[in-house]
Every structure is written in structure tokens, then in C-alpha cells.
A and B are shown apart, each in its own frame.
Chain A
Amino acid sequence: MGTVSILDGLRRKLVADSVASGRRADGRALDEVRELTVEPGVIPKAEGSARVRLGRTEVVTGVKVNPDRPFPDTGDRGTFICTAEIPPLAHPDAEAGPPSEAVIELARVVDRGIRESHMLDMSQLVIKRDVSVIGVFTDNAVIDNGGNLFDACSYASVAAILSCKMPVWEMGEDAPRLVEGQSRDPPIATVPVSVTMGRIGEHIIVDPSLEEWMCLDARLTITTNSEGNICALQKGGLDGFTPEQLNSCAETAISVGARVRPRLEAARQAR
């Protein structure tokens, strides 16, 4: 069902020709990220939150922190769940109803980048071992789809987690009890940064806009941690990359990641 938007042929050619010339249709260099704004604390009812604008893409993310039951085999760790939604107001192609394959991939890639980087030290999110732990729910809502939702949702999630003020619980008779008037900082171990790159012909571009996204042959999302190590990957699209391209993508992800990281880290100040 639904619609699938088409980019007009003249624009498609312009996007490809611009990339080949080294200066993209919107004037950016090939490794340039669009204008990024990060507003932490926009949803005071959530323990952490952020609105991120990446070019024309806008994401609002909230973090809820609640006591949770641990998984049977990891009673010494808190739980982390990350979801993503593209509500139908974000784009005419987005539909209400059960999440599509693409939306599920989006949520899982954002989740993986944060989880595998060990951004949160989950061992510090235990109320009582094997009985009660702290659950961190990160819900991403794409308000406006201007392309590259992977990075926009990842930045919004990371900023929302960094902005968190976490309640404190202690174990009561049989259930955790909120300790009134106390809060703590989230146990942050590293700050992951997702960098999505696309290939158009032989050229690799960083942070594709929506019209570029519609012209990609293949894409690759690389998440790096504060040490500059690679902690999560996702290749997508209809075609592939050469090993040389993958190597240069890794270098790009590390250097672009290092430029973006301080922008996300500033969200700590919203606590």
C-alpha cells in the first residue's frame, strides 16, 4: 500500500553530478555534516530528553527511567530498551500502524550503537541483584524526515541519555521504593557517535540529505566511542562497498565522530 516518493530525474542527475564534482547539491563538502542543533531537556516530564535537528530532519527523544525486573541471566545489570517511530506526520511515505522493516532496522541500529559502546555502565543500575534493576527506556520520534534518520535518532538518544536526571530507589519490603528528593547522574562510560555514509557511484558522502538518500547505491553506519574505537556497524542499500572504501569510511567515521561528540556531550549541562 502506501506511497513511495520519487525524486525527479533532473534533480537526481544534479545530485549525482554534484557529488562527482566534490561539492554537493546543497553546497556541502563530501564529508560535511549538515547543521546540527541539540536541545536537551525539551520534555521536562521525561527524566532525559532532547530535540535534535540535523538539516531538515527533526527528532524528539525522551528517556524514562523506571524500576524493572532483570533478565534471568543478567541479574547484575540494568535494562536498556531503545525504540524508534516514524509517525505519519514526518513524511507522506510514513504510515500509521505496525512498524515497517525500515523502522525496525532504524530502532535496532540506534539501540546497537548505544548498547555495544557500553555508553551506560549497566552494572551501576542495580537496585537489588537478581530482583530489581533500573530500566532505561529511550523512545525516538521522528517529527520531520529530512534524511539520515540513523544519525539523527542516535544523536537525540545519546543527548537525551546524557541529559538524564536519574531518580534513586532503594529496596523496600518486596518492591523498590523511590527515595524522595534524591537524584543521580547516569553512569556514563563513553559517548558513542554514529556516522552514516552513503555511496553514490564511486564517491562517499557523509550524512546524506533526503534527496541524496534517494540516490544512494549503498550506505554504511559506523558508530565510534570516545576512544575512537569502532563499536557498531550496519551496511544497507542495494549495492556494496569495496574493502578500500570500507577502510576510508572508518577513518571518516572516526574523524567526523570526534567533531560531533562535543556537541552531544554539551547535553550533560541540562541535568
Chain B
Amino acid sequence: MTHQGMPRTVMPGDTITREARRAGDNVVLVGDTLVSSAVGLVSVSDDTVSVIPLSGKYMPRADDLVVGMVISHTSQAWELDINAPYVGFLLATDVFGRDFASHADELTSKLALGDLVAARVANFDRTRDPLITIDDRDLGKIDSGELVKIAPGKVSSLIGRQGSMIQAIETATDAAITIGQNGWVVVSCDSADGLLRAKRAVSAIEQGAHSQGLMDRVKSALARGGD
């Protein structure tokens, strides 16, 4: 969507508008001018102008669903790579429950190095590392599928309006796709061909999230058989 008088694509330092609007994500106010601080796409909602970045790490937000990978653990918690500037902490009590006893319960019996989990950001305020939880329905260790990484800013394109994009991909391939807001996506499918086509569709979004006619590109990625 282009907005009158505003560029569609911007880079750091580019002027977006001098209209009186609120500066949203990745936009800074310099004097009376809204300036982009990222390579990305201009997005306007109500009176707020923001830029959807096309690269960069994920900035944790409470309640976001993320996909994380166990990279280490202490006697009390696992450390998760969540593609963020900060390591996520998953407390042992979150998995073992209130009765967790660090001398008796071995953390690796539940989650080992390299394990992927579907998780939720419990809280985060930049002064401390984000706290992660898997204590909810549909959260926890991911047992099958393949991890595909996309820029976190492109997650909304992958989901599509009211989930239209992801539904189109899942329906066409019979794949189950877990989307982390952090850009980590696990694609799982019983058929090798469906898996290949679903991964190709996700890649098409990673490469063309900025382009108009994205749905057509994804449809063509879905249509081609495995080769």
C-alpha cells in the first residue's frame, strides 16, 4: 500500500514525511521530519508511521509466540537462542513444575542441546534477558519438521491478511507450519513433495515480501512439483 506523498521503500536516514504523524517502529522524528532508521517498507495505520524492517534480529515482546533452540543450560534454567539480541531463559520450574529440585531433576532429560521449542515470551523489559514459557497448550518441544529462517519483519507477510497466506500454503501442501514471531518457522509435512513445496513458498516470501503480487509468486512456488 502506498501512501500519498510517502515513499514505499526506505533506508536509514530517508525522509518519510513532514506531515504531522506519530513516529512508530523504526521511525525517528528529526525536527519536523519523520525519518526511517531501517531498510524497509513504510506502513501507516491511523496517525502512526512505521517502517517494517526487511532484515535484522527479533526484538522480544511479551506474549509473542517464538521458536527457540536450546543452546545451554544451568542447574535452574535452559538458555534459548530466539534470534534476538538477548538469550531467552526458560526456567526449569516452567517444565518440571513447582516441585522442581535441582539436585534430583536433570534438565537434559526434558530438553537437550539443539532441541527446538515452540514457546511464548513471558516478559521482557531490556534490563533483563527475556523470560520464556512453554507452559501452555500447543507449546513445547518440536519433534518433527524442518527449521526455515526468515527475517522477523517478513512474518506478517507469511501470515497474510487474517492468516490468508499461511492457510493457502498449508492447504496446498498438507504441511503444518509453526510460525515464530522471531522469524523461525518450522515446516512439517508427511509427504516429501509437500514439504519441498511448502519450504519453497516460505522462501518465496522471504525473497519477495516487499514485492507487489506476492500471492502470485507464492502460488507459482506451490504449483511446481518436487524436482
Contact = CB atoms under 8 A, between A and B. Distances in A.
Contact of A14 (B69, B114, B116, B146): B146
A12 interface: yes
Interface range on chain B: under 10, 10 to 19, 20 to 34, or 35 or more? 10 to 19
A14 B196 CA distance: 14
Nearest to B141: A9
Interface string A1-27: 000001111111010000000000000
Interface in B92-149: 112-116, 142, 144-147
Contacts of B145: 10
B146 A6 contact: no
Nearest to B188: A10
B116 A9 contact: yes
A219 B115 CA distance: 25
Contacts of A14: 146
A10 B71 contact: no
| Number of chain A interface residues as a range | under 10
A9 B146 contact: no
Contacts of A12: 114
A10 B113 contact: no
A184 to B, nearest CB: 49
A122 to B, nearest CB: 48
B209 to A, nearest CB: 23
A14 B144 CA distance: 10
A7 B146 contact: no
B147 A11 contact: yes
B147 A6 contact: no
Contact of A6 (B69, B142, B144, B186): B69
Interface of B: 69, 71, 81, 112-116, 142, 144-147, 186
Per CB-CB distance, the 10 closest pairs between chain A and chain B, nearest first, are: A9-B114, A6-B114, A8-B69, A9-B115, A8-B114, A8-B116, A8-B147, A6-B71, A6-B113, A10-B116
14 contacts: A6-B69, A6-B114, A7-B114, A8-B69, A8-B114, A8-B115, A8-B116, A8-B147, A10-B116, A10-B145, A10-B146, A10-B186, A11-B147, A14-B146
Given A6-B113, A9-B114, A10-B142, 12 more contacts: A6-B71, A6-B81, A6-B114, A7-B114, A8-B114, A8-B116, A9-B116, A10-B146, A10-B147, A10-B186, A11-B147, A12-B114
